[in-house]
Structure 1
Amino acid sequence: MVENLESFLSSYGYFAVFVGTFIEGELFLLVAGFFIKHGFLQPIPTFVFSILGALTHELIYFFLGRWKGRHILLGNKYTKKRYRKAKRLVEKYGIYSLFIIRFLYGMRVVPMMLMGATGFNIYKFLFFNVLSLIIWASIFLTLGYILGHTAYMILGDLKHYYFIFGLSVVIGGLIFYMLYKLLRG
């Protein structure tokens, strides 16, 4: 089983990092950091693909915001509520709000669309977004690495359990995410 995991991660691991950060982000970075610690992934490519995945996601929403942002954001209850919160942040802090938004769970889509809809300069957006992504990826990959180190200290070199542990983190995170969404309405 471990050989299959190592083979899978060596073949598709960085693509999985790209897709994982494109879709979710923080949880996937924690798992990627865990796998870096245990030698399944290399740090630099993981870091680069995590930034590329999140950046691609955010650029899609930025340009969607340029195209039909206000209509989409004000068109339903979910985004309308987040729109007001994101708009206050953007009005107060401008482009620097990217650093704040980066660490507010569940606030990835609306602010990017809002920045596109309000006509932020694309080059300024790219610069500050990439800078915030570098900080974000560094923090979460490091936390995942520390989690992997802690698992190593507790479990020793039992590679057969690492996949189960990583899978448990993913499943636990997904359950937390679903409960969060359910309770927030």
Structure 2
Amino acid sequence: MDLLTRLITFFAENGYLAVFMALLVCGIGAPIPEDVTLVAGGVIAGLGYANVHVMFAVTMLGVLVGDAGMFLAGHHYGVRLLHKRPLKWVLTPKRYCAVQKQFEQYGNRMLFTARFLPGMRTAVFVSAGLTHRVSFTRFLLLDGLAALISVPVWVYLGYFGADNHQWLLTWIHRGQTGLWIVLGVLVIGIGFYFWRRHKKRAERSSNASNSPD
């Protein structure tokens, strides 16, 4: 029995609380893929064991609470956290240095993109708390915006593919690529919006300076 099937069975028997707790465990770096957990939550909604919209709300809360917990743990315990299990297995000294370099190069954008990097989320979120470079409010905003893209994709994918296991597995494998495409389109769209806004402001300023007194 594969992991997805085991999670579906477990969630169907135990409901929303089981999904929420599983996501908290994912947040601390347990070897359970968050994406598969979200899909399993969507599947049990598609099979009639839960309401899909409530499931979306529960999974969003579970993801954000788990991520916030890792950020606050890093913020409160500092480098001592690097020596505590299971974090010391997830955030090795080598990985911590790599994440720090990414923060120096990309800043807050690293927090946003971390949600789309399986295996790196916990390391990035703990590092963000450790460095004290980002306020908790900014962290929650950036992570929440990223989660609003990724979480519904996985949950509703599970919901619509609940009756077709093979189709679902195919799209789970394609899903991460699809998320990057969605993210790319979103970034391009936002960039274009701000470029047009800046251009219009520049034109208004130019017209105002050239107008006769």
Count of matched residue pairs: 149
* Greater RCO structure (CA 8 Å; 6+ sep): 1
Deviation digits for residues 99-118 of structure 1, max 9, x if unmatched? 32112222232211111112
Code of the residue aligned with 1:20 in structure 2: it is A
Code of the residue aligned with 1:99 in structure 2: it is F
* TM-score, structure 2 normalization: 0.60
1:93 to 106, 122, 131: 106
Correspondence 1:79-90 to 2 at 5 A: 79-90=92-103
* TM-score, structure 1 normalization: 0.68
Instruction: Tell me the CA shift for residue 149 of structure 1.
Output: 4.1
Deviation digits for residues 163-182 of structure 1, max 9, x if unmatched? xxxxxx9xxxxxxxxxxxxx
1:144 to 158, 164, 169: 158
Instruction: Tell me the CA shift for residue 124 of structure 1.
Output: 0.9
Deviation digits for residues 46-65 of structure 1, max 9, x if unmatched? 11111111211121211111
Counterpart position of 1:165: none
Deviation digits for residues 107-156 of structure 1, max 9, x if unmatched? 23221111111211111111111111121211211332343142499xxx
Indicate if the aligned counterparts of 1:70 and 1:114 stay in contact, CA closer than 8 A.
no
Counterpart position of 1:179: none
Matched, 1:39 2:45: no
Code of the residue aligned with 1:66 in structure 2: it is H
Counterpart position of 1:164: none
Counterpart position of 2:146: 132
Cα distance in 2, alignment partners of residues 27 and 151 from structure 1: 13
Indicate if the aligned counterparts of 1:74 and 1:80 stay in contact, CA closer than 8 A.
no
Indicate if the aligned counterparts of 2:52 and 2:159 stay in contact, CA closer than 8 A.
no
Deviation digits for residues 26-47 of structure 1, max 9, x if unmatched? 2211111111222211112111
Cα distance in 1, alignment partners of residues 75 and 166 from structure 2: 47
Matched, 1:122 2:131: no
Counterpart position of 2:186: none
Determine what percentage of the aligned residue pairs are the same residue: 28
Cα distance in 2, alignment partners of residues 108 and 138 from structure 1: 18
Larger Rg: 2
Stretches of structure 1 lacking an aligned partner (at least 5 in a row): 154-168, 170-185
1:147–1:90 Cα change, 3 Å: farther
Counterpart position of 1:69: 78
Stretches of structure 2 lacking an aligned partner (at least 5 in a row): 1-7, 27-33, 173-213
Deviation digits for residues 69-90 of structure 1, max 9, x if unmatched? 3333378575212212322332
Code of the residue aligned with 2:65 in structure 1: it is T
Q: Which runs of 4+ in 1 moved over 3 A?
A: 73-78
Cα distance in 1, alignment partners of residues 72 and 166 from structure 2: 43
Cα distance in 2, alignment partners of residues 130 and 97 from structure 1: 14
